[in-house]
Amino acid sequence: MVERPAAVVKELIENSIDAGAKKIEIEFRNGGKSYLRVEDDGFGMTSDQALLCLERHATSKIRKASDLDEIQTFGFRGEALPSISSVSRFTLRTRTEESPEGNEILINGGKMIHVKECGMPRGTRIEVAHLFNSVPGRRKFLKTENTESSHIIHLSKLYALAHPGITFSLIEGTRTLFRSPACESLIDRVREIFGKSLSECLAPIEVESEGMLLGGLLGKPGYSRPTRKEMLFYVNRRPVESKTMSYALLEAYHTYAPKGRFPPAVLFLNIDSSLVDINIHPAKRELRFREEMKVRTFLIESILKSIKEISGEIIPQEQKIEFEKDSISGEMVPKIDDQLLERFKPRDSSQPFRITDKKPELNLSTIRSITDPVGQQEKTDVLPDKVSPPTHPSKVVGLRDEVHATWRLVDHSHGDMALFITPQGVVVFHCRAAYERIRFEELEDSFVIKEKTSSQSLLFSESIELNGAESGFLQECLPKLSEIGFVIEEFGRNFFRMEACPAWLDPEKAIFYLRDFLEIANESGGTKKVESYAKEAMIKQATKNLGSAESYSENEIIRLANQLLSCRNPYTCPQGRPIYYELPIREFENRFRRKL
Ligand code: ADP
Ligand code: MG
């Protein structure tokens, strides 16, 4: 049964864990052939127990037949210690909490040499020297020292991973290979004994279904290893070699790891022990499940689900659009998913040029300084002309072939939607929403700017007839309205004429804007500030225009995008709906399941 030094180490570690150890130290020399020691601070044995444990089938771990079905402890066969002591020079030292002295038993090649008292702290220390010396036939089958060492090291790591709460040390000769104090979590233990590079490419997972629980650490997509050495499996906390588990892992990853490379994983399956055949090969770690297909399906599904969660891949669900009532227009509009908005918010690194949260500069031209990046303002622009010519040759937004531009327009054939390529991915952009945001911030700015905001004359002045209350209110507001760019004159009782409107307002809509402004003021009794009515009227205008997609030329879109990116809030329109989404390249890689 004892095939090699690592198998001895395994039995001894399992006994220490069964004995409730908080600290386990493992030492070996010459691949474990000449010497190995496993020492713990567990509950130890009395002198009687110590003698008994060396008799065959002297396990203390099974008391009744039914225990066999619910084995929680590792050892249960009561064979390990007698077997080991029969083929080595075996020293057992052990003491319980209650015993005043410890006991030492020395056995050589199965022959008892001595039993004597010894001083020692609580716990058990087992030393195995000259393994298989007395069995030359066995000894010659042992591999090289290096191979045997690597088995011991691997095995010690496996147990250390399964029990982060136990302090583990591994010593080879005079060299400490690792010493890992009790850790809070598995990932900490991985870092301690395998190093940072492995721990960084793993992410914790936990999936439970049908009485099975899969937990542990799974390689993030994109990380793979040249060998299967970092594919580690446990069933009910015992390290196992399981074809089912490794098959499930590779199957789930076959689209995530390149051919011939292996995903790192430390997977713990917890499953009703009656569904596991651990008795088939007691000495081997290979195990079988009684409901093979069920376990395999559970594993593949759980791993796939976890990979997707880790990578942030969107799992396509039924597209269900929820609607909500727009507070201003009273119309039903698609509801905005705040989480989605947050998720696709562009990263700051891609926006070095954005004016963030700054108080508006007193000069509008600063805000608009990156307009018209292509330098060919069109006469037919539907957008009001800008106050100042561009001062930056900045290529923040440009056409498809303008390689230096951060955003490059690739398409705008679908209503208000435009598509840009960015270094991070693809931006889907809503022209109308951007237009509204830009106008809105210009309006806001116009209240901050001390000098009169620039106006644009209307081709034909518009007249407007008001009721007494409205007319009184408008008269009160005229000075303020004139500051923000309106030129309105009274030319008769309750009659007014608009000669010019602010540059930020579409002249065709100026009179409707004024009507909205007065209506909103009237509804609220005229108690608020002009500024807030002006803003509300702006929002109302935007809502009215919903659905009437204008067709923007490429240059207009580019200008819009440039202006938008210098807005204080480029993310949402004045009503809080998104203006653009950035779909990161990673998102596409996930969908294509390969690197781009
Ligand atoms: P098994 O683990 O299957 O019971 P072993 O031969 O490994 O059989 O151990 C025999 C018995 O010796 C155990 O049942 C346990 O009572 C005792 N024993 C072995 N190692 C330790 C230890 N490190 N601390 C306390 N008791 C131990
Ligand atoms: Mg045992």
Among all ligands shown, which has an atom nearest to the Cα of 80?
A: 1
Q: How far is the CA of 53 from the centre of ligand 1 (A)?
A: 6
- pLDDT of amino acid 70: 45
Q: How far is the CA of 451 from the centre of ligand 1 (A)?
A: 90
Nearest atom of ligand 1 to the alpha carbon of 74: 2
Average pLDDT over all residues of the chain: 79
129-143, 244-258, 333-347, 556-570: the lowest-pLDDT one: 333-347
Nearest atom of ligand 1 to the alpha carbon of 38: 23
Statement: residue 201 has pLDDT above 70:
yes
Q: Is 263 in the pocket of ligand 1 (CB under 6 A)?
A: no
The whole-angstrom separation of Cα 49 and Cα 169 is 27
Task: Let me know: does 5 contact 37? Beta carbons within 8 Å.
Answer: no
Among protein residues, the one with the nearest Cα to ligand 1's atom 18 is 15
Among protein residues, the one with the nearest Cα to ligand 1's atom 23 is 16
Q: How far is the CA of 2 from the centre of ligand 1 (A)?
A: 16
Q: Is 16 in the pocket of ligand 1 (CB under 6 A)?
A: yes
440: nearest Cα among 261, 572, 592:
572
Task: Let me know: does 238 contact 74? Beta carbons within 8 Å.
Answer: yes
Statement: residue 367 has pLDDT above 60:
no
Q: How far is the CA of 145 from the centre of ligand 2 (A)?
A: 25
6-20, 42-56, 332-346: the lowest-pLDDT one: 332-346
The whole-angstrom separation of Cα 548 and Cα 150 is 72
- pLDDT of amino acid 439: 86
167-172 and 175-180 strand pairing: antiparallel
Q: Is 86 in the pocket of ligand 1 (CB under 6 A)?
A: no
Task: Let me know: does 246 contact 214? Beta carbons within 8 Å.
Answer: no
Among protein residues, the one with the nearest Cα to ligand 1's atom 2 is 75
Residue from 81, 90, 91 to probe ligand 1 pocket by mutation (most atoms less than 8 Å from CB)? 81
Statement: residue 377 has pLDDT above 50:
no
CA dihedral 275, 276, 277, 281 (to 10 degrees): 180
Q: Is 205 in the pocket of ligand 1 (CB under 6 A)?
A: no
State the CB neighbour count (10 A cutoff) for residue 358.
Answer: 9
Statement: residue 561 has pLDDT above 70:
yes
Q: Is 77 in the pocket of ligand 1 (CB under 6 A)?
A: yes
Residue from 60, 91, 98, 238 to probe ligand 1 pocket by mutation (most atoms less than 8 Å from CB)? 60
489: nearest Cα among 451, 449, 458:
458
Q: How far is the CA of 66 from the centre of ligand 1 (A)?
A: 20
Q: How far is the CA of 177 from the centre of ligand 1 (A)?
A: 26
Q: Is 221 in the pocket of ligand 1 (CB under 6 A)?
A: no
Q: How far is the CA of 77 from the centre of ligand 2 (A)?
A: 7
The whole-angstrom separation of Cα 231 and Cα 207 is 18
- pLDDT of amino acid 388: 38
Among all ligands shown, which has an atom nearest to the Cα of 126?
A: 1
Using alpha carbons only, what angle is made at residue 572 by residues 570 and 573, rounded to the nearest 5 degrees?
Answer: 105
| 265-270 β-sheet, strand order | 202-209, 212-219, 265-270, 231-235, 238-240
Among protein residues, the one with the nearest Cα to ligand 1's atom 17 is 53
% of the chain at pLDDT higher than 70: 76
Mean pLDDT score, 396-410? 84
Nearest atom of ligand 1 to the alpha carbon of 80: 6
Mean pLDDT score, 160-172? 95
Q: What is the pLDDT of residues 473-507, one digit of tens each?
A: 899 889 889 988 899 988 888 889 898 888 888 88
Nearest atom of ligand 1 to the alpha carbon of 77: 3
Residue from 16, 36, 52, 53 to probe ligand 1 pocket by mutation (most atoms less than 8 Å from CB)? 53
Tell me, yes or no, if the pTM score tops 0.75: no
Q: Is 41 in the pocket of ligand 1 (CB under 6 A)?
A: no
72: nearest Cα among 8, 18, 11:
18
Q: Is 45 in the pocket of ligand 1 (CB under 6 A)?
A: yes
- pLDDT of amino acid 279: 58
Greater confidence (54 vs 165) lies with 165
The whole-angstrom separation of Cα 35 and Cα 29 is 5
97-101, 262-266, 292-296, 393-397: the lowest-pLDDT one: 393-397
Helix (H) or strand (E) holding 411: strand 407-414
CB proximity list for 355: less than 8 A, separation 6 or greater: 361, 367, 566, 567, 568
CA dihedral 504, 508, 513, 518 (to 10 degrees): 130
- pLDDT of amino acid 254: 74
Write the CA distances from 31 to 7, 8, 87, integer angstroms: 12, 12, 16
Q: How far is the CA of 27 from the centre of ligand 2 (A)?
A: 18
Q: Is 123 in the pocket of ligand 1 (CB under 6 A)?
A: no
DSSP string, 106-175: EEETTEEEEEEEE---SEEEEEEESTTTT-HHHHTT---HHHHHHHHHHHHHHHHHH-TTSEEEEEETTE
Nearest atom of ligand 1 to the alpha carbon of 16: 23
The whole-angstrom separation of Cα 535 and Cα 361 is 19
Statement: residue 195 has pLDDT above 70:
yes
- pLDDT of amino acid 328: 60
φ and ψ at 558, to 5 degrees?
-65, -40
Q: Is 44 in the pocket of ligand 1 (CB under 6 A)?
A: yes
Band of pLDDT at residue 285, cut at 50, 70 and 90 = low
Q: How far is the CA of 11 from the centre of ligand 2 (A)?
A: 5
Nearest atom of ligand 1 to the alpha carbon of 15: 20
Q: What is the pLDDT of residues 39-92, one digit of tens each?
A: 999 999 999 999 988 887 656 665 554 444 444 444 445 678 988 898 899 999
Q: How far is the CA of 93 from the centre of ligand 2 (A)?
A: 16
CB proximity list for 392: less than 8 A, separation 6 or greater: 369, 370
Q: How far is the CA of 13 from the centre of ligand 1 (A)?
A: 10
Among all ligands shown, which has an atom nearest to the Cα of 76?
A: 1
Greater confidence (338 vs 265) lies with 265
Which ranges constitute the DSSP H helices of 375-418?
none
Under DSSP, is residue 219 helix (H, G, I), strand (E, B) or coil? strand
- The length of the chain in residues reads 596
Mean pLDDT score, 435-462? 80
The whole-angstrom separation of Cα 51 and Cα 115 is 9
Task: Let me know: does 484 contact 446? Beta carbons within 8 Å.
Answer: yes
Q: Is 50 in the pocket of ligand 1 (CB under 6 A)?
A: no
Q: What is the pLDDT of residues 113-143, one digit of tens each?
A: 999 999 999 999 999 999 887 766 666 666 6
Write the CA distances from 260 to 263, 389, 421, 515, integer angstroms: 10, 59, 34, 70
Q: Is 81 in the pocket of ligand 1 (CB under 6 A)?
A: yes
Q: How far is the CA of 16 from the centre of ligand 2 (A)?
A: 8
Q: What is the pLDDT of residues 531-557, one digit of tens each?
A: 888 888 888 877 665 444 567 788 888
Helix (H) or strand (E) holding 534: helix 530-544
Q: Is 23 in the pocket of ligand 1 (CB under 6 A)?
A: no
